[in-house]
């Protein structure tokens, strides 16, 4: 296992007002990397030559690949928002809404994914 050194710094950059820029300056001073889920910090730090680990990208990379038409076993946990829906969760925490599954709540079920698994855009 690789060795990881952690150092707590109380450096402040009084001439820098923006918190993101303070983090970038700190990373430059210590030749450090930034771990974040902030999209804007990611972009600005990358432009400044700072190495970034984006937590959202990491989580997406670790999600299992689920293919259209795949058959899987899920546990229908509760009702969905719409009539006759059931809600299940994959091992990685991804929520699956199953139409016509209200009667299967609290039971394991086998389902086949539709040909399109792209989530609907958020409102």
Look at residue 50 and tell me if it is in a domain.
Answer: yes
pLDDT tens for residues 62-90? 777 777 888 889 999 999 999 999 999 88
54 touches 36 (CB < 8 A): yes
Looking at the fold, whether 83 and 105 belong to one and the same domain comes out as: yes
Look at residue 51 and tell me if it is in a domain.
Answer: yes
Looking at the fold, whether 77 and 56 belong to one and the same domain comes out as: no
The whole-angstrom separation of Cα 68 and Cα 101 is: 19
Q: Which helix (H) or strand (E) holds 19?
A: helix 19-30
Q: Provide the pLDDT for residue 116.
A: 60
Q: Provide the pLDDT for residue 113.
A: 79
Look at residue 38 and tell me if it is in a domain.
Answer: yes
Q: Could you give the number of structural domains in the chain? A: 2
Q: Could you give the strand order of the β-sheet that contains 95-99, starting from the edge strand earlier in sequence? A: 78-79, 85-89, 95-99
Look at residue 13 and tell me if it is in a domain.
Answer: no
Look at residue 11 and tell me if it is in a domain.
Answer: no
Look at residue 77 and tell me if it is in a domain.
Answer: yes
Looking at the fold, whether 58 and 76 belong to one and the same domain comes out as: no
Q: Provide the pLDDT for residue 41.
A: 95
Looking at the fold, whether 58 and 75 belong to one and the same domain comes out as: no
Look at residue 3 and tell me if it is in a domain.
Answer: no
Looking at the fold, whether 49 and 80 belong to one and the same domain comes out as: no
pLDDT tens for residues 19-63? 999 999 999 999 999 999 999 999 999 999 999 999 988 887 877
Look at residue 2 and tell me if it is in a domain.
Answer: no
Domain interval for residue 102: 71-112
């Amino acid at each position: 296992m690789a060795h990881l050194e952690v150092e707590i710094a109380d450096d402040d950059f009084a001439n820098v007002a923006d918190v993101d820029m303070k983090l970038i300056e700190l990373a430059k001073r210590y030749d450090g990397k930034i771990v974040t889920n902030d999209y804007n910090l990611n972009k600005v730090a990358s432009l400044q030559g700072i190495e970034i680990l984006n937590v959202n990208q990491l989580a997406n990379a670790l999600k299992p690949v689920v293919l259209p038409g795949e058959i899987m076993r899920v546990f229908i946990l509760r009702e969905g928002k719409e009539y006759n829906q059931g809600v299940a969760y994959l091992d990685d925490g991804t929520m699956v809404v199953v139409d016509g599954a209200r009667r299967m709540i609290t039971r394991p079920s086998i389902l086949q994914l539709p040909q399109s698994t792209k989530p609907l855009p958020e409102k």
